[in-house]
Amino acid sequence: MALAFTLAFVVLTPISPAVAATPVLSTFARTSPATVDAGAPVSFSFTTSAAVKRVEVGLRSAAGTHILAWTSAGAKAGTVAGVASPSSWPNGTIEVSYVQVITTVGASQVYYRGGGVYPPGTGTSPFGDPAAQDFKIKNPMLPYVAPVPTSLVPAKATFAPGQTAGVQVKLSQLAQSVRLIYRDASEVTTFELAWTGTPAPGPQTVTATGAVTAAQASGGYTLERVEVTYFDGLAKDSYLRDGTLERTSPVPLGTAVRVKLATGDFVVSNPAKVLPKLSPSVAPRVAGDLVPNTILSIQRGTWPVEPSFSEIQWYRNGTPIDYATKDTYQSNMYDDPANMIWVKMTARAAGYLPASVSTLAFGPMPRRVWVSNLRITGDASVGGVLHLEHGAAGVDPEGGQASYTYVWKRNGTPIPGATSRDYRTTLADKGIIITAGVTARFDAGSAITEVVDLVGPLANKTRGKGFNADGTGDIFARDTGGNLWLYPSNGSGGWLPAQKIGQGWNGFNSLFSPGDFDGDGNVDVMARDGAGRLFLYQGNGQGGWLRSFQIGQGWGSVKDIVAPGDFNGDGTADLIARDASNTMVMYPGNGRGGFLTPYTLSGGWGDFNAFISPSSRSIFARDNSGNLRSYSGSGNGYFHENAWTPNVFGAYAGYGWEGFSRIGAPGDFDSDGVPEVYGIHPDGRLTMFYGLGHIALKRQATIGWGWNSFNSVF
């Protein structure tokens, strides 16, 4: 049988590889006196119901936790004993915290102060509460007060390799060890001086020493930490240079005034080991995206060795940013816009002198930018010009002028070359999503991109895109010999040479162009014969024809037919007809050269004698008084307001139009993006009204003569 005595700082956490079903510890009693003198034995006897190999008693004094332990190969009785050390058992009550037994088969039970037993379900303690075994220690020579360092005096101001560095330390009370922990000029590498001993109680003066070797670098040695251990290791206090005190025990400090650690600094003179300054070959920099509310980080650069960084401080225009002392900085839109950001830090590495480094300024940080009121306007048909409208960009804080860049996309993919505010659509844009984006930029980081979709599908090409596919409005005319002529626009408000594009057209009593009615991307022509049959003449996009075929019959009772482009917003060309009862009927195109189911729009159109369509979803009607009035579609296949009577929702586009024998609408004749309307006088003069298609007349001019020789102009 062997007896062991141990001191420790922690309270036992029991382990239990096996569990006993009933209490193993049968009896437990203190056999030493109720009051024990310092240096005298402390003992407890026990009996067990099963063979045990270890019994441990945890005692708690004012200094900390003391552990007494008994071990054996296996027994059912014994004595746990130890000695009350004069240097670590202060005056006062010693509490029995727990008793642990471990059987020879590894089962563990712990009997806690208060009567509890572990594991749960073991039962109650047969010997009662361990607190009944408390006792007192009589040790008047050991003050219950911590030893405080009150003075530090180096033996010399400067030490050299081969010498022993020493620092005299005065303590307010006895201790068993003192460690002085220094950092050399690198502020990384440590160097220690130490003392150990077993002095008598009372104030002490000791000397902590350490050998200075060739490994110690030349320069100042800064005392960072003083560790004082006492009560035989039960208690340790660590005094830090910044005044912080770290403790493992609640022992009172008393009234002694602690010394400032700087008084323990010294210098090592070692010419063979002079530290170079730490310097980067690539300087640190601020890394991050120049966008609002971004996270900036430190790109640490390239150094001769991997350093550590501390004393990090971020700055805004030279002023430290509150609480910005980490590796990263979260910018914000309240304080940072238009300001420069940089960071300052200290780099340290063993074998080098520390370096304070600052990055170059990053910024200016983005300002808040906005662009409002985005919408796509213009001719939303194949070959039409779309325009991105938006308000002027704003910025906060104010300052500078915005530059704008644009991009048009087709199903999210940028359209090659479509980088201006205007975009002319093509047949490839049919049936997909068209978006326009604008980026407003005031400086490198102060920018915003806003995107808007084209509302509704792109309509088939309107007649104003030209029969010869040059994108400008043309005029068709039939002479008395039945020949059909094309008068192409030159795109500047004038003419290109006329072209004869057909003959034998005298059999038709109504001619008009619906635009691209069959969805092939080319402008077509429609004709109604005397039998009421309706024919489609497919254009080939080069001023000629593909083929013709009948697409309807029974149109003889229709008074007027007008082609308003895509009137119902489904992307295909439609027709509107005034029947014999002066009711407007909508004939939706199916986009393949045929029709969907027709439906009534409104009645009461008997006061009009001519109808034209200058642009998609717009009809101009001339009344019997010579007034030209505009009726716009809502995009859902009906006129605005859904009114039955046309007088309710029409707007005046002009007066005095009774003097023209014919009126028409060629589309955009001068390529300014605004459609025109023309009138032919009885004497054959053709006058073009530029911009009137949008009820915004810019000018008028006579651009042709002799047009009274034609019996149909459209």
The answer to whether position 198 is within a domain reads yes
At 304, which CATH number? 2.60.40
For 533-539, the CB contacts below 8 A with 24+ separation are 535/508, 536/593, 538/593, 539/467
Determine the 3-state secondary structure of 428 from DSSP: helix
The answer to whether position 262 is within a domain reads yes
430 plus 572 within the same structural domain: no
592 plus 626 within the same structural domain: yes
What does each C-alpha distance from 418 to 402, 408, 422, 423, 449 come to in angstroms? 20, 6, 8, 6, 16
Residue 256 domain boundaries: 148-268
Say whether pLDDT at 353 is over 70: yes
The answer to whether position 685 is within a domain reads yes
**In this predicted structure, what is the pLDDT of residue 650?**
73
382 plus 339 within the same structural domain: no
CA gap 55, 177 in Å, rounded = 31
Residue (of 231, 257, 258) closest to 175 by Cα position: 231
What does each C-alpha distance from 245 to 148, 177, 239, 241, 310 come to in angstroms? 11, 17, 5, 9, 22
396 plus 505 within the same structural domain: no
The tokens for 687 are 């006058």
CA gap 234, 64 in Å, rounded = 6
Tens of pLDDT along 75-125? 999 999 999 999 999 999 999 999 999 999 999 999 999 999 999 988 899
The answer to whether position 591 is within a domain reads yes
Q: Is 592 exposed, middle or buried (0-12, 13-18, 19+ CB in 10 A)?
A: exposed
314 plus 383 within the same structural domain: no
User: Phi-psi bin for 593: left (phi > 0), alpha (psi -120 to 50), beta?
Assistant: left
The tokens for 133 are 């075994």
682 plus 540 within the same structural domain: yes
The answer to whether position 689 is within a domain reads yes
At 606, which CATH number? 2.115.10.10
509 plus 655 within the same structural domain: yes
pTM of the model: 0.60
Tens of pLDDT along 234-255? 999 999 999 999 999 889 999 9
Task: For residue 152, give the H/E element and its range.
Answer: strand 149-154
Tens of pLDDT along 481-514? 999 999 999 989 999 999 999 999 999 999 999 9
Say whether pLDDT at 647 is over 70: no
346 plus 291 within the same structural domain: yes
Task: Tally the domains of the chain.
Answer: 5
The answer to whether position 631 is within a domain reads yes
665 plus 579 within the same structural domain: yes
**In this predicted structure, what is the pLDDT of residue 456?**
84
> In the listed set 78, 105, 138, which residue is the last one of a domain according to the structure?
138
Mean local confidence (pLDDT), 425-438? 94
Tens of pLDDT along 16-26? 444 446 999 99
236 plus 304 within the same structural domain: no
The arrangement of strands across the sheet holding 651-654 comes to 608-612, 618-623, 628-632, 651-654
> In the listed set 112, 138, 164, which residue is the last one of a domain according to the structure?
138
At 439, which CATH number? 2.60.40.2700
434 plus 323 within the same structural domain: no
CA gap 385, 674 in Å, rounded = 10
The answer to whether position 665 is within a domain reads yes
Neighbours of 288 (CB within 10 A): 17
Amino acid at 451: V
> In the listed set 327, 358, 389, which residue is the last one of a domain according to the structure?
358
Mean local confidence (pLDDT), 554-582? 96
What does each C-alpha distance from 68 to 49, 59, 97, 531 come to in angstroms? 21, 8, 12, 124
The answer to whether position 459 is within a domain reads no
659 plus 693 within the same structural domain: yes
Q: Residue 640 — pLDDT band, cuts 50, 70, 90?
A: confident
